[in-house]
Amino acid sequence: MCGVRPPSSPPPPPPFDAQAARRLRGALGMAPEHVAHALRSAYGLPHVTSGHVLAWERGTAAPDHTELAALAGALWCDPGELLDRPRTLREHRIARGVAPQDVACAVGMDLPAYLRMEEDGVWRGTERQVGELVRVLRLEPPDVVAVTGRTEPLAALLRGAVTTRWQAYVRQVGELVDVARPDLEEALRRLHRDYQGRMTATLGWGGGDTAGAAGEEFLERIVENFWAAVRREP
């Protein structure tokens, strides 16, 4: 199972960070044509021109997986430094420079099954396999929630927690996130206080519509606000 190679169909391009590429090139004192020359001569990519490099840096195009690895070599950086924040399972794997067969082997899953999960974005593994996934891809708690498809269920619970009694949601939220219970309770308390404070303050100014907009905006960013509360950000 662990020695099987992935199918040959090309995956979609990784989430490229155009600003990082431009910054790294500038730090090396290289012009776009210098980067393009390196990709052609040292990395066997004869099709790459300075126009390609400029398009990548402007965000109008993105390098494929082979081009990204070569660009990282030309810019003397890790491929992960050229990636925007990963969101999907595939993007996290690419950011860590791990081959799909290695992830499949680590989590104890056959390669076709793992690749299907990357393709459709639906995690079907067990909790034990989630633990192995965390280890091999070095995932943080917010990443685990995202790649295992728990973002929407978490958001629904958090909306209930801030609009009613947060204490009633501690156990359910704790089943979805890897956060120590004292930290989880404090995060939910902070989240509830922030939401209710916004609503109360805006209503006190006589702005019913404004209160609704402020509350809706807070709820739309509820998962992001939750992780900020977990990190105890101001």
Is the separation of the CB atoms in 63 and 57 below 8 Å? no
pLDDT of residue 10: 58
pLDDT of residue 225: 94
Angle formed by the axes of helices 111-120 and 100-107, nearest 10°: 110
pLDDT of residue 164: 95
pLDDT of residue 203: 57
Q: Which two tokens stand for residue 183?
A: 């930290």
- Cα 220 to Cα 11, 78, 103, 122, 215, distances in angstroms: 31, 34, 33, 22, 9
pLDDT of residue 15: 80
pLDDT of residue 232: 81
Q: Which residues of 31-63 are buried (b: 16+ CB within 10 A; e: fewer)?
A: ebeebbbbbeeebebeebeeebbbbbbeeebbb
Alpha helices in the chain (DSSP H): 18-27, 32-41, 50-58, 65-74, 89-96, 100-107, 111-120, 127-137, 141-147, 151-163, 170-176, 181-204, 208-220, 222-230
pLDDT of residue 88: 87
- Chunked mean pLDDT (size 10), the chain, 234 residues: 57 79 95 96 95 94 90 92 85 85 94 92 90 93 92 96 96 95 96 89 55 80 94 69
pLDDT of residue 7: 54
pLDDT of residue 208: 53
pTM score of the predicted model:
0.66
Residue with tokens 């992001």: 224
